[in-house]
Structure 1
Amino acid sequence: DDDDEEEEDINDVGGSSRTQTKEEIRTELSNMSFEDILMLQSKVGTKVYNEVAYGSRKSQDVSKKKRLNKNRPVEISAKKPTPFIRQVVPVRQPTRRDPRFDDLSGEYKPEIFEKTYRFINDIKRREKEIIQKKLKKTKTDGEKRNKLQFLLKRLENQERARLNQEQQRERELQLKRQQREQTHHGDQPFFLKKSDKKKLHLAEKYLDLKKSGKLENFLSKKRKRNAVKDRRKLPKQLQHKKTSQDTQF
């Protein structure tokens, strides 16, 4: 016990002597000229000089961050402005998913889709009837009439596209039935290429136009489109000549 007390006394003396030497050095530095301080700093080094002259910053920072109780929150200086966006409580963000590209929604089957959303076609038919009635009533207001005509045309185009899709689906189903029948009879199944399917579609379209009496109009429009395409492919000089010839005629 006596030995321990002696060691503690020695440590205390050593600690006090160290603090005295630091104080003495600081007093000496305060009396030194600026040139002498710079020379001393270059010899000793800036790090050692700063530790002796100003004390170590680590000890100061640790003393600042110390808390009286570990359960208390850390005190933050009011001089430092808090960030505008800060997350106080972690919020769980909802995961967004697009049902069109998600496997959880299942496989897209047009037949089932048509059955489930058949009511939309009825709504569109009713809208079409309402627009047609409004068109009959509005005769003076040109802007409103143009809007109604645009809406009517859009609905008609949508209806036409839907019917075309249904016809194409029916054709594909018919081909599948033929393939099944052939396999039942022992023949090898055949699979049409895209080009063959396109030819069949054009043939059916030709027959439909012929029945409705719109074939000539369709062919004339087609010729005009092809002529415009051919004219674009020609060089510029020939294009100007051709346009001048067309204007003369």
Structure 2
Amino acid sequence: MRFALGIEYDGSQYCGWQRQNNVVSVQETLEKALSKIANEPINVICAGRTDTGVSATNQVVHFDTHNVRKEVAWTLGVNTHLPKDIAVTWVKAVDETFHARFGATSRRYRYIIYNNPLRPAIFSTGLTFNHYPLDEKLMHKAAQFLVGEHDFTSFRTVHCQAPSAVRTIEHCQVSRQGNYLCIDVKGNAFLHHMIRNIAGSLMRVGRGQEEVEWIAEVLAAKNRCLAGVTAPANGLYFVDVTYPEKYQLPSSPLGPIFFN
């Protein structure tokens, strides 16, 4: 049987999603918990691999198993074997055509910034802190240059191994709730550090260091050296992934916490 799982995790204590030697990853931790319930080795495939320190509110994975278990075993049962910063949020049996990664039609991330002269204490590991005043309206205006199909070479790390830098962004919105800014980006796929590099560049615009049109110039230049610095990993969340309606997967609030 094949199952799809909804997963959320606080990535601050993990070296990213992907299983690696000699470090703790979200994937390895989840697979160990699933294997205990299945009583056989379980390998999972995720919708979008996240980097060190990056969190998720709606990660989707799939796995295959030969053993029959009640759905509650894959949720409550697995959660008893997981640390408190990783949790299964839903499970659904799917047919063999479902693939968490290759079947996804879009992915969505949110980058959360605490914008205040003084640092926060509560939720401090789940956001990035910027003490300079940021104009979210200018940031939103600049972000619209990124919408559509573009070559995002200027916004990917030099170590990115993707054969093409062309991606399609459906929306890139910047909003504020009190001291919290949210950069909300949805697209078909993303390059290594792409969201964090976009966030770092938009913060330059919000701070008044660059004009709104600067984002368009950086995008057209296809030169990583011209964009802003890479924003910290804490504050970045994988919040949603879209699949064809025929799978009828459960939906959950995007988060994190107070963002609708």
Smaller-chain TM-score bracket? under 0.3
Greater helix percent: which structure? Answer: 1
Normalized against structure 2, the TM-score is what?
A: 0.19
Greater strand percent: which structure? Answer: 2
Structure number with greater Rg is: 1
Normalized against structure 1, the TM-score is what?
A: 0.19
